[in-house]
Every structure is written in structure tokens, then in C-alpha cells.
Structure 1
């Protein structure tokens, strides 16, 4: 009977409002608010730690190689990067040795690649043409095909671009530059053992592009392609330098 009476007393207090719930709810709410504040403080400290962390300067590539990097705006390119790209692309486009690399990296005779009816270009120049903007590539390839002597593909003539000077890149717009090149085209054949040179001065117009990702070159030619595209640059136009 005593147990029954005690239970009735508790239920009657609950039903009659004997227990004050408002202070309990207030304390519980205050406790939850304190936990939320502590969580926010922890997250804020983590964000500050990440923002103050120096940017990585060494990145390991998928093939195990490590390269140094620095943070720049998406459409900015360093003067050194532009210089290297222009030298590499122009030399590849306008040097015709009659040799190319096979999949083992060995030099073999370059029989040329027919990219359009009746138009043949050297294989290295075709690879280098991927440094050109898509709308400009077929135009320049036709011009180059018309300049390559047939004896190049017979191994009797070699022509090399000898770059004498590149000006510092002049910015002409957001992510756009122009570089002036002073160079000679040197021809070596049975009649010119020391090389016959002609002036080859050009104005090269460049723009920034998004470099490709997740490319794993497997052959020397694929590596050459990756080297050109990974610079984040392409040639929009090449004009005579007057």
C-alpha cells in the first residue's frame, strides 16, 4: 500500500505541476549552447591553422617524380615559363632534322606524317603543333608543310631553328602576352656543310590555358606532348616581325 501511495503521489505531483520543468529546460538549453560555442571555437581554430599553413612547394607526381611549385593566379604565367615554352614550341615547329624518336626513345628516319591530302609534315613538328590554338593549328601546319623540302624526308637535308634572342613577354591582356623572336633558319645539306642561314624573325602571340591533368606519358613523343601542354600556354598566332 505504501508503494502504491508513493507512486500516486509522484503522478499527482507530475499531473499537478509539482515539479518545475522550466529551470531544467533552461539548464539543458544553456548546456547545449555551451557545447555549440565550443564546437564553433574548435572549427574556427582549425580554419585559422589551415589558412596560416604555407602553400606546398614540393609536389610528387604519379610517376614518383617530385617538382617544385608556387602559387600563382590561374591566368598568370612566369617569365621563365613563357620563355621556355616559346623556345620549345618554336624549335619543335621549325626544326626539321629528318629524324624522330621511336617508342624506345631511339632516333629513326622520319618519313613524315600526311595530315591532309598532299601535305606532309615531320612527326616532331606535328607533335609540337599541339602548342598551337585549335583554330590556328591547321593554318600553320599547311604553311609549314609548304616550307619543308622533300629532301628532309630522304635524310639529305636538315633545317634547324637557331634562336638568337627572345624579348621579355609583354602582357597585352588578361592571360595574354606577345614575345618577339630573333632567329635564323639554318640549312645543312651536301652543298651547305656549315649551314646556310636565313633570317627568321617572328612575333609570337600567346594565351594562358588550363593545363591537362592525369596524363601519364608512356613514350618519348607523348612526353613531348605533355611537356608542351603542361606549361598552361598555347600560341594563338605567329606573325612576321617587321
Structure 2
């Protein structure tokens, strides 16, 4: 009877083989899963990058994969042209929700620390880095003719050349621009040309997206359009024409 009871007694050593077998089974399962994930990652790594995107309106556009801080020369040049053109082309008209309207209300302007700038200049100023923006707007106010706000003066920025962006470091470029600011007023009906040769320093930033595209005002949409390329102007200096970068476009 004692022998029978001893044979039925359960020893802890009996668990060890079961534990080893269970562990091996789990490790085998993990190995299979790891191999499957490795195969999928390898497949994605060698998969061609999509170069065509279909838009919801049925149109297709070509795309190119670039580094997050990389921008093409064409994007940088167009950004500079748009920002500077908007900032220094004044017509004394305010913003309207109907761009095709025959006339727009007079522009009351936007007060800055030392003077007043046009609404278009204020709107374009969001292309500038924030710690540079305030000081530069004071300079814009200093050259804005008072007649702009009464409708008796207008201006146009005419860009003659804009250089191929020169990369100073990753995500940071210099663009040299030769232009003239033409001011038309009763004193100069034929136009007064002011030389506007500048070196602009541009850096890559996180692109801005309009969180409420369906309800944004025209001004808000314009600001987001300036920031959607993920660029901002950090500094504007007078250009030494003798050092103009080669290959102007």
C-alpha cells in the first residue's frame, strides 16, 4: 500500500520536461513570426517608391521622394517670388471674398510698431521667421507710400533675375535676387524705380496645413498657401551685385 501511494506522488521534477517543451514551442512560434516580419520589411524596402498620385478630382500628379529638409530649387525660387511679390506689390485695395469682383474696398492697412503696412504685406509676412518678421515689417512700413491707403499710389515688384538656391547647410539656402520696386503716384505717374537687390536666406520648416479648409477666410487660405511648401525666410540682406550667384533663372 505504501508502495502504491509512493508511485502516485507527484514530484516537481515532472514539470521540467513539460516546461522545456512549452518554451521551445513558443520560441519556435516567435521565430516564425520574426522571419515573416523580416520578409515583409525586406519586401517593402525594395518596393519601388510611388511616383504617381491620383487626386480626388480625377487628376494625377507625379511625385518624388526627398529628404524631409530637402526642397527643389524650383520650389524655393517660386516661394521667394510669391512671398516678395505679394509683400511689395501694393494697389490700395483690401481683400475681398470674390477675387473676380470689379473692385475691392479700400485697404485700411495693418498697424505695426512704427507705421502701417498693406494687408497684402501683412499676409505675406507669414513667410518670414517669427523673430525676424517684426523688425522687417517696420522697414516695409517705412517705404510704403501713404498714398497707397487712399488709392492714389500703387507699386509693382519686378524681378529681373533670381539665382539658383545655394545650399549653405542641410535645409538652409541663400537666394540672390535682382529686382526693382516701381512706385506710381501723382508725383511720379510714369513710375519711380527703386533698386531692390537682395540676398534672401531660406530654411526648411514643417509644412503648414489648413485645419479648417472649408471655413477658412481668404486671408487665412493665403497664409496657409505661403506655408504649405515648408519654407520660411530667416533673413534678408542687401545684395552685393558683384557677388551675385551664377546661373540666374
Identify the residue that residue 227 of structure 1 maps to in structure 2: 225
CA distances 1:136-184 after superposition (whole Å, capped 9, x unpaired): 1111111111111111111121100000110111122332211111111
C-alpha displacement of 1:187: 2.4
TM-score when scaled to structure 1?
0.80
Q: What does 1:102-117 align with in structure 2 at a 5 Å threshold? A: 102-105=96-99, 106=101, 108-116=104-112
Unaligned 5+ residue runs, structure 1? none
RMSD: 3.3
Distance in 1, Cα, partners of 2:56 & 2:34? 37
Taking the aligned partners of 2:132 and 2:187, their CA distance within structure 1 comes to 35
Query: Contact 1:104 / 1:220 at 8 angstroms: preserved in 2?
Result: no
CA distance in structure 1 between the partners assigned to 2:150 and 2:48 by the alignment: 56
Q: Choose 1 or 2 for highest CA Rg.
A: 1
Q: CA distance change for structure 1 residues 110 and 208 in 2, over 3 Å: closer, same or farther?
A: farther
Task: Give how far 1:112 is off.
Answer: 3.1
In 1, the alpha carbon distance for the partners of 2:224 and 2:200 equals 21
Equivalent pairs, count = 234
Q: Structure 1 207/69 Cα, relative in aligned 2: closer, same or farther at 3 Å?
A: same
Q: Deviations over 1:63-120 (max 9, x none)?
A: 9998654332232221111101110111111111112322344451342333236611
Question: Structure 1 residues 68-77 or 120-129, which shifts more?
Answer: 68-77
- How many Å apart are 1:213 and its aligned residue? 3.7
Shift of 1:241: 1.5
Q: More deviation in 204-213 or 76-85?
A: 204-213
SS of the residue 1:99 aligns to: coil
Which residue is equivalent to 1:77?
A: 71
